[in-house]
Structure 1
Amino acid sequence: MSTIDNSVIGKVAIIVGSKSDLPILEKCTSTLDELHVPWDMKVLSAHRTPFETQQFAIDSEEHYDVIIAAAGKAAHLPGVIAAYTLLPVIGLPIKSPALGGLDSLLSMVQMPKGVPVATVGINEAENAALLACQILALKDEGLKEALKDYRHRMAEDVLQG
């Protein structure tokens, strides 16, 4: 079992575009908790709360090291946040009834030159958390070891059927 130095480890911001998407984020928060990574969650919308979203993104570098932004439909939230910060932004496309999340996915991966958003699969909240942890592990050897343990346990689960 590895020891994570919470004085070194960064903090993750989880931003979700709608309260209705909160259940999807449970895998994200439980994975971060399992790896002892601190996080905060806020509901902000690129379209319904544009000023608050802008202010969060501008101020984010003072409080966080990585941002996970989850949104469905037009899914501009990760891109808007990425436009205002140099922090890594991980887009989490949320499945929508109309197009099954493809609309969200394409909104996130088709960012213009100079404003990247790393994007995971549709509703893949656990992968968003793991990618955030991999980024943070660049500065924290304990977290890196915790991720190795996590993958080892995954492999054991597969092999044990």
Structure 2
Amino acid sequence: MVEVAIVMGSDSDLNVMRAAGDFLREMGVEYEYNIISAHREPDIFFAWARDLKKRGIKTVIAGAGKAAHLPGMCAALTPLPVIGVPIKTSDLGGVDSLYSIVQMPGGIPVATVAINGAKNAGILATKILALSNEELFDKLEKFSDGMAKEVEAKDKRLKDVGVDTFLKG
């Protein structure tokens, strides 16, 4: 059963948002991708957002650039957790998207990750689901352990070969 809905307002956001799905797949979490514009097709968007819980969705990852209303509108229309991914823009580098997503009014929170931080959105969605799924919790612990081992290996290599060789690769 699909537990995470990944939504974006434009297909141009898919290259960024794919990282969320890649992580969810790695963890064995079922998800779906959606391209729905809150501005260009509001009726379709409203129906989609209001139907999420009925379809078994437990968390929403919403990516948007520029005005970036999509994550906030998701949060306004469903009580499910919404994770916002600000998409980098050519005019303001994504800061416009970040401010739009993170500055929500009281009572309508959107958990917001870094600009283009879709992988972290996937990780956060997995952590939310892991609260009631021990197997998923164990997978996240292994993921965290793997990251720690990577850092330890890099530190050892730096000490073994020195800065110049390390930086050359």
User: Which residue of the partner structure matches residue 29 of structure 1?
Assistant: 21
Aligned to 1:38: 30
1:109 alignment counterpart: 102
Report which of the two structures shows the higher radius of gyration computed on alpha carbons. 2
Cα distance in structure 2, aligned partners of 1:28 and 1:82 = 18
**What is the TM-score when the length of structure 1 is the normalising length?**
0.92
Q: Deviations over 1:36-87 (max 9, x none)?
A: 0000110011111211111111001112000000000000001111111000
Partners of 2:74 and 2:41 in 1: CA distance:
12
Structure 2 residue runs without a partner (length 5+): 155-169
Match of 2:112 among 99, 106, 119: 119
1:114 alignment partner, SS class: coil
Measure the CA separation in 1 of the matches of 2:147 and 2:41. Answer: 39
1:72 maps to a residue whose letter is G
Q: Aligned pair 1:128/2:112, yes or no?
A: no
- 1:147 deviates by 0.4
Aligned to 1:80: 73
Residues paired across the two proteins, number: 153
Structure 1 stretches of 5 or more lacking a match? 1-5
SS of the equivalent of 1:23 reads helix
Q: Distance in 2 between matches of 1:156 and 1:25?
A: 27
Aligned to 2:167: none
Q: Which has the higher contact order (CA 8 A, sep 6+)?
A: 1
- Following the alignment from structure 2 to structure 1, what is the Cα–Cα distance between the partners of residues 131 and 54? 19
TM-score by length of 2: 0.88
The structure with more helix, counted as a fraction of residues: 2
Amino acid corresponding to residue 126 of structure 1 in structure 2: K
Instruction: Compute the displacement of 1:15 (Å).
Output: 0.2
> Taking every aligned residue pair, what percent have the same amino acid on both sides?
48
In the TM superposition, residue 27 of structure 1 has moved relative to its aligned partner by 1.4
Deviation >3 Å, runs of 4+: none
